[in-house]
Amino acid sequence: MKVLITGSNGFIGKYVTEELLRKKHKVIEYDFVKKKNLFNKHDLITEMKNTDAVIHLAGMLEGNAREMWKLNVEGTRHVAEAAQKTKQKKLVFMSSTGVYGLTKGKVDEESEIHPENTYEKSKAAGERICMEVCGEMEVCIVRSAMVFGANNYWRRMFGLLREKYPLPCSGKNHFQIIYVKELAQAIVKVLEKGKNGEIYLIAGKEKPTLNEFCEIIQVELGLKKGIKHMPTFISLIIGKLFGIKALTAENVRHLSKERNYDTRKIEKLGWSQKITLEKAMKEVVKDIGIKKE
């Protein structure tokens, strides 16, 4: 299959590109760093003319709300329209479990969505846009759990734990995430076997609490196990007084969210987690280049 992938040079995109090539698919990379713009309709259509399918990963996770909405929503609209005009066989859209908002208990693909911030709302809007073209081509939505891998977010997280910063919450929430390499394989599985109009929730099988997850990091970094905590309201006051980015209301909310997902639907397609969380942790620490104590 010949596949166009947007955001091919991004944190997730580079692994999806590798997985596509490993599975012998032909790949057309469409990324801003390659001077390919989602808002250039002519380029989008030209690149898609000889492809069979599109994986739309390009998006903005944080930053200016207006720019985020423009890229995540209007950019997605341009991709969906171009896919429609070029008669693609399939469109796979990268969404997020963030669309569920704050949850209680286990969630699955049928759970109601309650997006709260700009990012979550933009992903929910992107899903609707893609589903509008469902029928003219096959469309699948991927809702990914928080993605774990060697990027700046996790570099900062490791640094805070090394400096023994207390968690700004109880840490008792489930913290079910997905290793980026596993996510890439799941996305390609959805491309190959996903059914039209379906949503697939992707997360790892292990469900540590946030406290347990942080202790796994501590062990891998050669630190003594033990997590300190700070009441959330005090954390928010300190964050506001001293302008600490890690202690903004949004970041504290993001860290303390309940993350408990049912992954049976993606597993029925033949995907399963192969890399344990402990092994993934070792690989990420190595890739980031953090020295152990």
Asked if the model's pLDDT at residue 276 lies above 80, the reply is: yes
SS3 156: helix
DSSP 93-132: EEEEGGGG-S--S-B-TTSPP---SHHHHHHHHHHHHHHH
Asked if the model's pLDDT at residue 291 lies above 90, the reply is: no
Task: Identify any residues that bridge with 178 across adjacent strands, giving them in sequence order.
Answer: 147
Distance between first and last Cα of the chain:
47
Angle at 194 between CA 74 and CA 92, to 5 degrees: 15
Asked if the model's pLDDT at residue 248 lies above 90, the reply is: no
CB within 8 Å of 162: residues ≥ 6 apart: 221, 223, 290, 293
pLDDT for the residue numbered 92: 98
DSSP 228: -
SS3 149: coil
CATH entry, 2-149+176-205+260-269, from 3.40.50.720, 3.30.1360.30, 3.40.50.620, 3.40.50.80 = 3.40.50.720
Asked if the model's pLDDT at residue 243 lies above 80, the reply is: no
pLDDT for the residue numbered 241: 77
256-270 pLDDT, tens digit per residue, is 999 999 999 999 999
pLDDT for the residue numbered 270: 97
Asked if the model's pLDDT at residue 292 lies above 80, the reply is: no
29-80 pLDDT, tens digit per residue, is 999 999 999 999 999 999 999 999 999 999 999 889 999 999 999 999 999 9
Question: Token pair 């890690």 is at which residue?
Answer: 246
pLDDT for the residue numbered 252: 84
Dihedral angle of Cα 120, 126, 132, 138, to the nearest 10 degrees = -110
pLDDT for the residue numbered 240: 79
* Conformational region of residue 119, where left means phi above 0, alpha means psi within -120 to 50, and beta covers everything else: alpha
Helices (H), the chain: 13-22, 41-48, 65-69, 75-85, 118-132, 152-162, 180-193, 210-220, 232-242, 249-256, 264-267, 277-288
Backbone angles phi, psi at 288, to 5 degrees: -70, -30
Question: At 179, which helix (H) or strand (E)?
Answer: strand 178-179
Asked if the model's pLDDT at residue 216 lies above 80, the reply is: yes
pTM for this entry: 0.95
CB atoms within 10 A of CB 161: 17
105-143 pLDDT, tens digit per residue, is 999 999 999 999 999 999 999 999 999 998 889 999 999
pLDDT for the residue numbered 249: 82
Domain spans of the chain, in order of start? 2-149+176-205+260-269
Average pLDDT of 172-185? Answer: 98
